[in-house]
Structures are given as C-alpha cells and as structure tokens.
C-alpha cells in the first residue's frame, strides 16, 4: 500500500505573509494613512475566471477620504490578497504625490510612449521620398 504525503509550507490560499503585512502597516503609518480614513468597497469581479469569479465580490476599491485618492485592484481571486495589493498601490500613489515623481510603472509607460513617438518620426521621414527637381 502506497501512501502519498503532501507537505506544504504555505496555505492553499494566496495570502500575504505577516511580515509583509507588518511592513505595509509601517509604510502606511509613515505616510500618515490611517485605516479609519479609508473607505473600502468590494464589487463583483470581471474578466477571466468563469462563473465563480463573476459571483464573488473580490475586486477591492479603496478610497482615502481626506485626499480623495482612489485605487482599485482585481489582480487575484482572493479578496484578502486584493486588499493588500490595493493598500500597497495607495501607498505608492501617496509617495508619488509627495515626492512629485512618477511611479516605476508610469516611468515605463512614458518610456514606451517616447520609443513609439521616435519610431513614428523615423517611419514618417523615410516614407516620403525626396522630391526631384
């Protein structure tokens, strides 16, 4: 008789580790974001995932009431993971406002836009042949 034993180090649900949650709480405290200033709503998810995804309220919409900053997250099927990710996005948005610089994601988007603009100019310059006199 064969007995198969599965050893898992983590639970099946994708949850952030307690260390990451504590680090996020410290980051929020350093930015002056309090939990009572946050308005949190859960809405129906959309997109791939089938019927289960469309029936669960796993999409998190987070709003910081004093600054009217809004963030929504639907990256995971887990509500708790989406709550964690939404709070992290809110912290990034606050840091970007305070420091006055774009987030790494926005920097990447701007970089791609510049590349496309350059390519478009290059194509436009080579597409029109010089006039013969």
Residue range 11-22, pLDDT digits in tens:
455 778 889 999
pTM of the model: 0.68
- With 70 as the cut, is the pLDDT of residue 124 above it? yes
How are strands ordered across the β-sheet holding 59-64? 38-43, 59-64, 69-73
What domains are there in the chain, each with its CATH number? 18-124 (3.30.160.20)
**How much is the average pLDDT of 76-94?**
90
On whether the CB atoms of residues 53 and 79 are closer than 8 A, the answer is no
Give the model's pLDDT for residue 132: 66
Which tokens go with 1?
A: 């008789």
Say which residue the tokens 């946050």 belong to. Answer: 38
């Amino acid at each position: 008789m064969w007995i198969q034993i599965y050893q898992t180090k983590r639970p099946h649900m994708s949850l952030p580790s307690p260390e990451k949650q504590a680090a996020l709480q410290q980051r929020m405290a350093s930015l002056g974001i309090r939990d009572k200033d946050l308005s949190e709503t859960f809405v129906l998810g959309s997109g791939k995932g089938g019927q289960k995804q469309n029936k669960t309220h796993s999409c998190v919409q987070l709003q910081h009431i004093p600054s009217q900053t809004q963030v929504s997250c639907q990256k995971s099927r887990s509500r708790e993971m989406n709550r964690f990710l939404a709070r992290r996005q809110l912290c990034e948005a606050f840091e970007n406002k305070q420091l006055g610089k774009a987030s790494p994601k926005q920097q990447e988007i701007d970089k791609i836009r510049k590349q496309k603009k350059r390519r478009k100019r290059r194509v436009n310059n080579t597409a029109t042949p010089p006039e013969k006199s």
